Amino acid sequence: MTRVHYASFINLKYKPKPTDLVCQFKITPAKGYGFQEVCSITAGESSVGTWTDLTTVNTKTQKKITPKVYYLDKKNLRCRIAYPCDLFEMGNLPEILSSVGGNIYGMKCVTGLLWEDVKIPEKMLNSFRGPRFGIKGIREYLKVKNRPLVGTIVKPKVGLNEKEHAKVAYDSWIGGCDVVKDDENLTSQPFNNFYKRILLTLKACKKAEKETGEKKVYLANCTAPVDEMIKRIKFVEANGGNYIMLDILTLGWSALQKAKDTTKLPIHAHRAGHAMFDRTPNHGMKMEVIAQFARMVGVDTLHIGTAYGKMTGGKDEVLHIEEEMESEFTKETQDNLSQKWFGMKPVFGVASGGVHPGIVDKIMKFMGNDIVLQAGGGIHGHPKGTRAGAIAMRQAVDATLKKISLKEYSKNHEELREALKKWA
């Protein structure tokens, strides 16, 4: 196989234009291939290149849409490629992903290809809707100004009937949770019908609001084939629901765009399946890229990890994702690309996965207050039950905001004391 056709994609003097989509890759060449060569192949195969001479080229158009490999870091196996916006159909995320990350992942010339970061141009951002509510809108709805939101997932994940599910949700709200959500794999099973569950849980939500004087939200999992997804979203809306949840990766980007066009409610994005893309350090698509595209489409809250819980993902990764979700502008570094969001609303990062009251202070210390602290087992596993578990989470937040250690605060707060004793 001749490789000369890919050489022209390297241009280290090129400076990306404001209209370019810029992608950073970590590329591990296969045996017999050079790093620079494979970087060029990556640019070519994801755009106008191919393996042989062609008689069908429109040279004028090709020159206009040819990407440039403008940055190479052989030591760390990194390259950056600038793709002209005219390569893509605006507003069509499936096509954009198919273009950049399609064919090249199956090429023999690489043993590892990791899409690490992306810089999205204003033209592309403007072809999507972005978050409807964002951090400010969610805070205004819940009337919670400065503290982290406290949330939970009804546990166990599956196995409760509709009435039992609503009771767990009610106890969580009464204990102090702002947010209660379905788990990623609870949709509409024989033991827990979606439509019955929604009615009972929304009724419990309204009851909890009346008794506590606080606004509450229920994140109803509407993940389903597109027609059924739309039917479920409309059912939630028609019955006074105030939030929907979608497993965005297993659902698919096209369906997420459809949901965004369908509903005026906030959208919670569960990242179920993300590790199929980002778990391997040398291959796949990092969560940072997934998160940026999710913000562009328009989710309002998104799981981003904790660094302290049961899931993978260290502090640097979690903080970078949070920065991409919350900031208007991120600076370019050796490791990460810059991104300007041009007024697109920020997304609430959700710290979830092994969260319990005993690590609330650590999470808040490095993630700040603009997060949703979401504990499942860390609430429902409390020795005195769900309500006490929710109280303990709020107590842990209050202690941290007051700059009092959890141990000291627990001396006069029984629920927190019991939680620390169990999860110490």
Residues recognised as catalytic: 155, 270
Q: Which ranges constitute the DSSP H helices of 263-412? A: 275-278, 287-297, 315-326, 360-367, 377-380, 386-401, 406-410
Q: Exposed e or buried b for every residue in 260-290, given b needs 16+ CB within 10 A?
A: bebbebbbbbbbbebeebbeeeebbbbbbbb
- Cβ(346)–Cβ(137) below 8 Å: no
Beta strands in 232-362 (DSSP E): 244-247, 267-270, 284-285, 301-303, 329-330, 339-340, 348-352
Instruction: Write out the two tokens for 131.
Output: 């978050």
Stated as kind and residue range, the H or E segment containing 23 is strand 20-29
Alpha-carbon 291 to chain mean position: 4
Q: Residue 69 phi/psi, 5° resolution?
A: -85, 105
Beta bridge partners of 270: 247
Q: Exposed e or buried b for every residue in 225-241, given b needs 16+ CB within 10 A?
A: eeeebbebbebbeeeeb
Cα–Cα dist 317/334, whole Å: 15
CA distances 286 to 116, 151, 178, Å, are 5, 26, 30
- Cβ(259)–Cβ(246) below 8 Å: yes
- Cβ(79)–Cβ(42) below 8 Å: yes
Indicate the pairing of strand 301-303 with strand 348-352: parallel
The amino acid at residue 156 is P
